[in-house]
Structures are given as structure tokens and as C-alpha cells.
Structure 1
Amino acid sequence: MRLTFWTGFWIFLVDQLSKFYVLYQINLPNLPNQTYEVFPPFLTLRMAWNRGVNFGLFADFDMRWVLIAVALVISGFVIWWIKRENVGKWAYISAGLLVGGALGNVVDRVLHGAVADFLNMSCCGFTNPYAFNIADISIFAGAIGLVLFTDSNDKKKTA
């Protein structure tokens, strides 16, 4: 569990520091076109306030507190589940990635009413219209890791 805590802590910290830097040091929301070329065309900072879920789904509805509650319930469930299961270090790291990222986005929703998304990556003639952040990457990687590194088939094998 210590590995889950520290992974979540560092992900949360890096996510919040990156958002602070983009919002208040680069001042991305106030730049022309709200973009900042880092390594064009591969990496561009493009401001997007996500009030909905993935890819801005349900952004037209005021779901701020519902999404905060869902993120906290899922984080609590993942912590409870990972404590119960006999898993290896990669599952603990995956749980930390998911929880740290979820809590990073919760802080955004509480402070700003929306999640600050700003990373935009495009390549090879494909222009990506979406922006994301470090918390989003962590949540995705953590969810995939929990699927890959927790073996629910152990019980089926012994039955």
C-alpha cells in the first residue's frame, strides 16, 4: 500500500505543478488563441476547460459535484480493492496512478469548476483536436495497469 500512496502522491504533485505552471506562469488562458508551441507539431499547449467527462462529453450539464463524487467513490473503491487483493507491485503502482490522477482532476473541479486540459499532441499530418493533462494520462495508464496486473482468473483456475 505504501507504493500506491507514493505513486499517487507524486502523480498528484506533478499534475498540480504542471497545471500551476501552465495557468499562472505561461498564463496559457490569456495567450492569443490560447496556444503555446512547445515542439511543433508534436507538442502544443492548447487550453481547454473540460466541464464534462472524457472528450468533453456531457459538458453542457452542470455535473461538477457529481463528477467529484464519482471520482472520490472510484478512488476509495480502488484503494479498498487493492488492499483486499493479493497483488504485485505493478498493481499497487497502477492503483496509485489512477487515484493520484483522479484526485488531481478533483482539485481542478473544486478550484476552477472544470478540469484544466492543455497537452495537445499531433503527428504525421494528423491534427488532434483534443487536449488532456498529466492526470488524464495517469488515470488511463492506471486503469489499463489494473486490468493487466490484477489476475481475476486465479479463482477460476482453482475452482
Structure 2
Amino acid sequence: MQILYILLLVIIDHITKYIAKIQLSYGKSVTLIDGFLELIYVENRGAAFGILKNKKFFLVGITTIAIIGMIYYLVRTANLNKWERMSLIFIISGAIGNLIDRIFRGYVVDFIHFYIKDIFDWPVFNIADILVVIGAIILAFSILFLKK
């Protein structure tokens, strides 16, 4: 069942990326909340925040190893609680979603831009990134606050 959840989340990620790619021409933006949130098409050729730009083979290799390790741990560890399972499902899904982009496009499609006028400007991200961050937060919470 866990693999089906991962597959579903990867599909959702790629549907949103496909919609962003066909609806937003490069550099064009759609404001959702003025001064706060917009959709804009960006091709990220690096990792988080654009670091390791144009290091495709390195990023693909590291991500593949991490995904294999997490899937192995998820499938083989029987005593994970529901929060740990959910966190790993989210992290794996996000990693696979962006890995597919890197392998087949050579870049990751990002399209969600969060900012606060001229005060704060977060780098553009996507659903896969959200999954990884939420998964990491849930995992940290589970490790720190839930007893085995």
C-alpha cells in the first residue's frame, strides 16, 4: 500500500508540473495573493535553492542512493509508527518526483513563489519540495516527541 501512496503523490506532483509548464510561459507569472504568492515557471538546474547548478549526474546519483535506502528502510522496518511511515512516504515521493525531472528534462520544474513584497523572497519551489519538507518536519517531530 505504501508504494501506491508514493506513486499517487508522484503523479500529483507531475500533473501540477505539467500544468505549470503548459500554462505559464517562461517568466510569466500569475498572482494568487498580491504581494504574497504567485505561480511562475522556473527551470531549476540545481538542487535546493539552486545550489549545485548543472551537477545533474551527481544529483541523480545521490538522490537515487537516498531513495533506494529510504524505500528499503520503509519496506523492511516493521516497527515504524504511522508518522514515521507517512514522513518517509512524503520524502520518497518528493525525491522521486524531482529525480524524474532531472533524468528526463535535465532540470526540475518549479512554479510556486512565496514572498512578502520587498521584505522576503523565498526561492521558487514545487509540490515535490513541499512533500520533502513536510515529510522532514513530521519525521523530526516523530523522532523528538513520540515514544516507540
Q: TM-score, normalised by structure 1?
A: 0.80
Deviation of 1:85 after TM superposition, in Å, equals: 5.2
SS of the residue 2:116 aligns to: coil
Give aligned-pair identity as a percent: 25
CA distance in 2, matches of 1:76, 1:143: 17
Pairing partner for 1:27 from 17, 20, 24: 24
Structure 2: distance between partners of 1:104 and 1:94: 15
- Partner residue in 2 for 1:43: 37
- Partner residue, 2:6: 8
Please give the secondary structure, in 2, of the residue aligned with 1:28: coil
Deviation at 1:27, TM superposition (A): 3.4
Match of 2:89 among 87, 92, 96: 96
- Which residue matches 2:112? 119
Note if 1:72 corresponds to 2:69: no
Letter in structure 1 aligned against 2:68: G
Give 4+ residue runs of structure 1 displaced > 4 Å after superposition.
Answer: none
Amino acid corresponding to residue 42 of structure 2 in structure 1 = A
Q: How many angstroms apart in 2 are the aligned matches of 1:111 and 1:90?
A: 32
1:87 to 47, 69, 80: 80
Residue 48 of structure 1: how far off its partner (Å)? 2.0
Q: Which amino acid aligns with 2:79?
A: N
Query: Which has more radius of gyration?
Result: 1
Deviations 1:13-32 (A, max 9, x none): 111000000101x1332xxx
Aligned CA-pair RMSD:
2.2
Q: Which runs of 5+ in 1 are unaligned?
A: none
Q: Which moved more, 1:123-132 or 1:89-98?
A: 123-132
CA distance in 2, matches of 1:43, 1:13: 24
Q: Cα 1:113–1:27, aligned 2, differ >3 Å: closer, same or farther?
A: same
Question: Which ranges in structure 2 are unaligned for 5 or more consecutive residues?
Answer: none
